Each structure stands twice: as C-alpha cells, then as structure tokens.
A and B are shown apart, each in its own frame.
Chain A
C-alpha cells in the first residue's frame, strides 16, 4: 500500500484528507509537529507528499527546496495561494504537481494516481485475466484476436482496471474523462460503457463489468 504524507496545518482538513486517501486505499500520515519536518519525512518514508505552502514555522517552498537537495520524492503542492507566480516557483523548485484549494477530491485522487502511474513507468501495457492491454495504442488482445478501443472506451476501461474489484461511480468515470479533455454527457457515458461491454464480450468476458444500481460499476 502506498504511503502518503499530509503536511498541512488545518486539523479538520487534515482529517478529511486522511479519510479521503484511506477510502482510496492509500495509507495516509498526518504531520502533527512542524519542527524537524525533514527528519520526520525520512522516518516515515512516504511514497508521496501533499504539501501546503503555508505551514507554521517554515514555508512549503523552502521546505521543498531543502527536500530536493537529498530526495526526488514526488510532491504535490496543495495550496490556497492561487497565483501563477507561486505555481511557477513551486514547479521550478521541483514540485510534481500544483493544486489549488478548494479542489475537487476526485481530481486530487486522479492527480495522485497519475503521478504513481508515471513513476511505475510500465503503464502503457497492462493485463486483465488473459488479455493484454496496450493503453497507448488503444488495443486489447487475446491470443490472436485484436480489438481496437476508442479513446473514451480506453479511459473508462483503464480507470476500471486501476480500481479493479472496487465500485467505481459514474461521477469518477466522468471526472476522469473530462480530465482527459473528453467532455461527454451522461448518455454518451452509458453508450460508451455498453460498447465497451460489447467489445469485452467479443473476447469472452461477457459479464466483466457489472452494474451496481444507484452506485456505479465494478470490474470483476
């Protein structure tokens, strides 16, 4: 399980963030003591840090600079300072992403997932049961059968696959699609899912995507 460290001074926000991350099956840590942050980071050894710019005693940008001297740990700046200057500065100090408050929780989770995906670096080819999936080419393959997926179908399938055996809401799928510049509506999502089901049926997985009424979908 991936470990995520939250560095943020507002307590209630920290607790909510922690719950959000834990529901998304990450292990979340909240920093309580803002002295010796760097030592605490080495102790916890997180896989990713959510860092606020305004933290007591020091400043997120300075902290990031100091951290970058020794480590290349992925850092997402999460801040209420909504200016281009701060974003450019943070990115130049080595932040991997910059999100401004108030943010959409689903988008935060997407950003975190995409950073982990980038790190693992083998994201372009994946498997599902005996299928090989090439995300970049949009192809699923079963021994000698090759099926081409559209961009939308691919986005939906990869989201379901990344959250396999978990219920995925329509809103999450929609957010992921919109996050990829595919601004489709509700009907189109339904159509895309049924097309994806039909294509999976061709390779022998008729009931791979189940509908959980009123909640969403699940890939078994």
Chain B
C-alpha cells in the first residue's frame, strides 16, 4: 500500500476539508476575529486533518500489506485468508467476509468437479477390468479355434490390449492417490513378461530380442515397469528399419548408487529436432506422422509413471541408426523412492 496513492484516493475529502477551511477563514476575516485565534484554529485544523489521515492509513496499511505480501508469496494463493489477521475496520471486515464467501463457494464448486473426476476415473478403471474379460475370451477362442482365427486377428487384439493398457495407466499416472507398491523386483522377470507379450510381433517382424545376462534387482512397481518397458519395445517394433537385420538389445549397467536399464534398437531413430519433445503429451513427431497412426501418449505416460516411481527416463538417438532408452533406478534409497 503506497502512501502517495492512498493520498490520491483521499483527494476529494481533502479538497472538501480545505474548502471548508477556506470558507471558515473568510468568515473569521469578515467577523474581524483576532489573527492569533485564526492561527491557532488553522494549526489545530490541519493537525486534526493530518492525524485523521495518518490513522486511517496505518490502520489499513498493516492489513492490506499483509494480504498482498502473502498472496504473492504463497504458492497456493487461494489459501491466503488462513494466513492473515482479521481486520478491525469496517471496510476490511466487509472485504474479509466477501473473500471468505467467494472462497467457500469456489471450494464447493471445485469439490463437485473433483468428485466427478474421481467418479469418472473409477468408472474407467472398472470399465477396463470389464473389457479385459471379453479380450481374454477372444484370446482363448483364437487359441482353441486356430482354424477360424488367423494371426491378423490376434494382432488387432494385441493392439486393443495395448490401447486399453494405455488408458488404464494414464488414469493411474494422474491419480493423486498412491496406487502403486514399491517392491524389490527381479528385472529378469519383468523383461520376460514384456518379451512374451511381444513375442509374436518380434518373431513375425524378424527382430532379434537380445537380453544379456540380467540378474539385477531394483526397487519399483513391477506392473508399472512392465507397462513402461512395453511402450518402449512397442515403439522399437513400430519404428524398425525395413532393410537391415533388426534387433532390440536389453542391457543393465550396475553402478554404486544406481542401476541403469538400457533398451537399444537399430531402427529408424529420432530426428534431433524431435528428440527433446518425445515425452510431451500427444507429440508424434516426424516418425509418428510417417508411420502408422501414433497417439503420442505412450512415452508421455511412461515418463509420468517414471516420475512417480522416482526413476529417470532418457532417450538418446541418431536418425537412421539407433534409439537407446535409459531407465535409471536409484539404489538403497528405498524411502526416498517410496515417498
């Protein structure tokens, strides 16, 4: 609260008082009143005016300055009312009450939205569990009646499965509640599950899946990690080169404070300009536009999940040569990760 602006605001009453003073002065002169009385009156009048002005300024200053300062410094400025003292002047009380009422009605409004979102998320999760039952049935049907289903059907089924998974993990990655569990997980097992999931496409597209001797254990949620790896392997399969002998190599580097899992392919790679943006939501890049339709959600969700689990994920690539994904698990910092 600036004193100059406050003064400017009070200008009308100041002018009014001054004109009142001038009228009185003229009257004093007309009645030929002693000049010493006029001086005394003038001094006391202006003293009164100044003190009224200052009192009202300081009274308001402490309240408004606190309010403005706290609004600026709180990261959730809507909580400001909780941090300031209730004012003791009428205007301030009015403002305080108004802010309180606005806040309350906004909170109610937000609450109804958040309830709606939670409802929606719960419905989606339930729906996903439901849709998995017919997908399972179809999977087994295809297995039981190989003569009626061909590989193409199974491939489409796999695609449905993957898209359903993406929705599930998108919902989960946005949930403020914790629905993951950090455990000691054998990387070997997770890699095996992902490999088995993609076995048919890998064999059909003649991509060699090379896994060096991996017996490392990391702290993670195995289901989430499985999803993350699945997105990466899916991309490697999708963006393979048509000409060379394709491979996907999975390796582990063990360091004193971290375990690094790398997935390398010799696919078409990612253009340098697209590289910094591959984790952005709905970013498809040049490759995504070249190849079949891409949603640009897979890596975005993978990154989100990694952040929640406390892992780091990075991509290194050279266009036309290779793509290498790093997932970094920190070691012995269980509580830090779990938090």
Taking a contact as CB atoms under 8 Å apart, the answer to whether B133 and A10 are in contact is: yes
Q: Is B196 an interface residue (CB 8 A)?
A: yes
List 4 other contacts, CB 8 Å, given A83-B179, A102-B132, A181-B192: A101-B133, A104-B139, A104-B196, A183-B209
> Are A174 and B199 in touch, CB under 8 angstroms?
yes
Dominant secondary structure at the B interface: helix
Instruction: Check A80 against B129 for contact (C-beta < 8 Å).
Output: yes
**In the complex where A20-B144, A85-B179 touch, is A101 in contact with B196 (Cβ < 8 A)?**
no
> How close is A22's CB to chain B, nearest CB, in angstroms?
9
Judged by a CB distance under 8 angstroms, whether A16 is at the interface is: yes
A81 to B135, CA, bound (A): 14
Residue A107 lies at the interface, judged by CB distance under 8 Å to chain B: yes
Chain A interface residues (CB < 8 Å from chain B)? 10, 12-13, 16-17, 19-20, 23, 54, 80-85, 87-88, 101-107, 174-175, 178-179, 181, 183, 185-186
Please, which residues of chain B bring their CB within 8 A of the CB of A16?
Answer: 137, 140-141, 144
Q: How far, in Å, is B225 (CB) from chain A's closest CB?
A: 10
- Which of B130, B161, B195, B223 lies in contact with A183, CB distance below 8 A? B195
Residues of chain B in range 106-135 having any CB-CB distance to chain A below 8 Å: 128-130, 132-135
Chain B residues with Cβ under 8 A from A186's Cβ?
203, 206
Tell yes or no: B168 within 8 A of A by CB: yes
Q: Judging by beta carbons under 8 Å apart, are B143 and A20 in contact? A: yes
The residues of B that contact A17 with a CB separation of less than 8 Å are: 140
Binding site for A on B (CB under 8 A): 128-130, 132-141, 143-144, 161, 168, 179-181, 183, 188, 191-192, 195-197, 199, 203, 206, 208-211, 221-224
10 residue pairs of the A-B complex, CB under 8 angstroms, read A13-B133, A13-B137, A80-B132, A84-B183, A84-B224, A101-B136, A102-B136, A104-B139, A107-B196, A179-B192
- The docked-state distance in angstroms from the alpha carbon of A83 to that of B128 is 13
Q: Which residues of B are found within 8 Å of A178, using beta-carbon distances? A: 192, 195-196, 199
CB within 8 Å for A19 and B144 given contacts A80-B133, A102-B136: yes
Q: Are B181 and A183 in contact (CB under 8 A)?
A: no
* Alpha-carbon gap, A136 to B323, bound state (A): 39
Known interface pairs A102-B161, A183-B210; A87-B223 also in contact (CB < 8 Å) = yes
- Report the bound CA distance from A68 to B320 in whole Å: 57
Shortest distance from the beta carbon of B247 to any chain A beta carbon, whole Å? 10
Contact between chains at A83 and B144 (CB < 8 Å)? no
A102–B196 contact, CB under 8 A? no
With CB as the reference atom, state the residue of chain A lying closest to B180: A84
- Known: A103-B136, A183-B211. Contact between A84 and B181, CB under 8 A? yes
Question: In chain B, what residue has the closest Cβ to A105?
Answer: B143
Q: How far is the CB of B265 from chain A (nearest CB, A)?
A: 14
**Among A13, A20, A88, A103, contact of B181 (Cβ-Cβ < 8 Å):** A88
A13 pairs with B140, CB closer than 8 A? yes
Q: CB within 8 A of A179: which of B141, B191, B196? A: B196
A82: chain B residues at CB < 8 Å are: 168, 223
Closest CB in chain A relative to B148 CB, distance in Å:
13
A105 CB contacts on chain B under 8 angstroms = 139-140, 143-144
CA distance A80 to B139 in the complex (A): 14
